[in-house]
Amino acid sequence: MKVLWGMLLMVCSVGAAERVDFFVMDTAARGQPAECASLLAELGYTGFGGRPATAKAFAAELAKRQVTFLNAYHVTKFSHGSTELPQDLVQAINALEGLDTTLWLGIQQVQLPPGVKAGPTAGDAIVVLALKQAMALAKAKRVKVSLYPHAGFWAESVDTCLRVANAVDDPALGVTFNLCHWLKVEGSERDSVPVIMAALPRLNFITINGADTGDTRKLGWDKLIQPLGRGTYDVKTFVANARAAGYRGPFGFQGYGIKMESAALLKETMDAWKGMR
């Protein structure tokens, strides 16, 4: 019995010591590249998510301080009958060349052929074809892609992102789980664990933030995006469940719309993250 108990303590100690990377989106880390990079390094963030247009400037400053430029967010639209990628998407991919990073791609709208009715899978064929073209370009530039579900977009759910990513069937194409958008689209009652488990082979990132519970589909963003540690939603248990489900990638902080000075917001959130760990 003593031996078994000792082994259990050893396993628990190893699990507790395992590093879990925590990055921040530019919705919370606001400022010029050098200033932002210094603050993130000082507070202990391991990564940063930005935008393609400023990716190289941020990546250079972050690298000086051993902080990783993890991803760059971009939104695009696809249309039926188009034989070429949207120029904005081509520019976003080209901007990330040489950075060894991921394009965070939100699919806002898909224009269907005339007479085709909208439905749960309407537009899939258009998106899959476009994503195959995008992946060919992205891989040539050594850029990975992760689909970013966003409330109100064509690809607003993790299910949709995973469905089209599986249809594209490219190992360099992943998906992201965003807690605030999950709560807005699915509600707080739906169990996220089965979806996370289904997405594991492609799940690159999970973003979190403080949030309230209740009928979250009706809540405003001020209730669904708060500093980590605030709100009534049990984010600590959410993180623990994602880890128990097998997720070993980074967690990121979404700070869109939070009316706080950036340094104070980032410190409060990092303190909460350390408390959770």
| Structural domain includes residue 104 | yes
Q: Is residue 235 part of a domain?
A: yes
User: pLDDT band at residue 118, thresholds of 50, 70 and 90?
Assistant: confident
**Which residues are paired to 110 by β-bridges?**
78
273 — phi, psi (to 5°)?
-65, -45
Residue that has been written with the tokens 């939100």 in this structure: 106
Question: Within a domain: residue 216?
Answer: yes
CB 172 within 8 A of CB 135: yes
β-pairing verdict for 47-50 and 203-208: unpaired
Mean pLDDT of the chain: 93
Whether 55 is in a domain gets the answer yes
Tally helices (H) and strands (E) across the chain.
Answer: 11, 8
Domain of 122? 21-276
Q: Which of 6-20, 51-65, 91-105 has the lowest mean pLDDT?
A: 6-20
- In this prediction, residue 17 has a pLDDT band, given cuts at 50, 70 and 90, of low
pLDDT digits (tens, 9 = 90+) for 41-53: 999 999 999 999 9
128 inside domain = yes
Q: Is 166 helix (H, G, I), strand (E, B) or coil?
A: helix
Residue 181 maps to which CATH number?
3.20.20.150
For the segment 198-210, what is each residue's pLDDT rounded down to a tens digit?
999 999 999 999 9
Tell me the percentage of the chain whose pLDDT exceeds 70.
Answer: 94
Number of domains in the chain: 1
Cα gap 259→243, rounded to integer Å: 30
Residue 4 maps to a domain: no
- For residue 114, being part of any structural domain is answered with yes
User: What pLDDT digit, counting tens, does each position of 161-190 carry?
Assistant: 999 999 999 999 999 999 999 999 999 999
**pLDDT at position 15, please?**
42
The mean per-residue pLDDT over the stretch 245-251 comes to: 97
The neighbouring-strand residues paired with 174 are 146
Taking the model in full, what pTM does it have?
A: 0.92
